[in-house]
Structure 1
Amino acid sequence: MLDRSKIGHEFPSFSVDIEKGRLKFFAKAIGETNPVYTDEEAARAAGFKALPAPPTFMMSVDLDAPEFLPMLSLLEMDLGRVLHGAQDFEYIGQIYAGDTITQTSKILDMFDKKGGALEFIVLESAYTNQDGELVGKAQQTIVYRN
């Protein structure tokens, strides 16, 4: 069983500079065809101050963490037994090219099903821009197979 005393554990925050090339690449990778995500003129014409981040981009910020999936070492988990169970996003503001986004995350909950054969770790992340504005939250559920 995973160590339930780690519920509430907060991981170190980190910051990421958001570059327009990265936003364009992400938009193409997810099949986003709206030009506001790839063309600066179209973005401004639509009322955005700069190139906006496409939906679900917050998850890619997590990939810049100093440690890949820091819960693995904290909970002494074997990566080969990890599955991505669910992902939810809450859009509070907008992430733009040129922003510096700070991500903070914590273990929100842990529980098991099937008599402990499957354990679930619920992580919550918050994304704040350089002005201290909360622009989004994400919650993901990781499944650990025993």
Structure 2
Amino acid sequence: MAVDPSAIGTELAPVELTVDAGRLRFFAKAIGETDPVYSDVDAAKAAGHPELPVPPTFLFGIELEQPDPFAWLADAGVDLRRILHGEQSFTYHAVAHAGDTLIAKPRIADVYSKKRGALEFIVKQTAVSQADGTAVADLASVIIVQNPEVAQ
């Protein structure tokens, strides 16, 4: 089933997350981050941070905090067995820290196809801000959908 291009501009439900220091330590360990600024509050403060800073790619996971983080794809008629995360980019505006409440506001920015419709691409852009509206980062991700209805 083809992804409907009328989805372009659709705003998805915002997601709010209060950043926990324990999660930041766990995330830093999981990605192999050895800089103590991401796991030791004293090291973070010595580096000029008020608390543990959020590691750069941590922001990707905010939208995964929902009970069904891929419902928006299913609602668009996408067979989740046929998707691939194709690309991710981040543009940073400010550093977030443990204790901050962050709000992610995603929207579908583009839908297009290649290979005569055999591959469809959904571009999702997400603005992440502090609860007071201060911009933290803009994320862009590309989901690739294989369309089995099109012969390759």
Structure 2 CA distance for aligned equivalents of residues 128 and 74 of structure 1: 26
Structure 2 CA distance for aligned equivalents of residues 17 and 122 of structure 1: 26
Q: In the alignment, which residue of structure 2 is the partner of 1:55?
A: 56
User: Structure 2 length normalisation: TM-score?
Assistant: 0.93
Cα deviation for residue 62 of structure 1 reads 1.4
Structure 1 CA distance for aligned equivalents of residues 45 and 92 of structure 2: 20
Moved over 6 A (4+): none
Q: In the alignment, which residue of structure 2 is the partner of 1:142?
A: 143
Give unpaired runs (5+ residues) of structure 1. none
Structure 1 CA distance for aligned equivalents of residues 132 and 42 of structure 2: 24
Who wins on radius of gyration, i.e. which is larger?
2
User: Structure 1 length normalisation: TM-score?
Assistant: 0.96
Structure 2 CA distance for aligned equivalents of residues 131 and 71 of structure 1: 26
Q: In the alignment, which residue of structure 2 is the partner of 1:25?
A: 26
Cα deviation for residue 66 of structure 1 reads 4.3
Amino acid paired to 1:22: R
Cα deviation for residue 60 of structure 1 reads 1.2
Give unpaired runs (5+ residues) of structure 2. 148-152
Aligned length: 146
Q: For the aligned residues, what is the CA RMSD? A: 1.0
Alignment map for 1:1-146 (pairs within 5 Å): 1-146=2-147
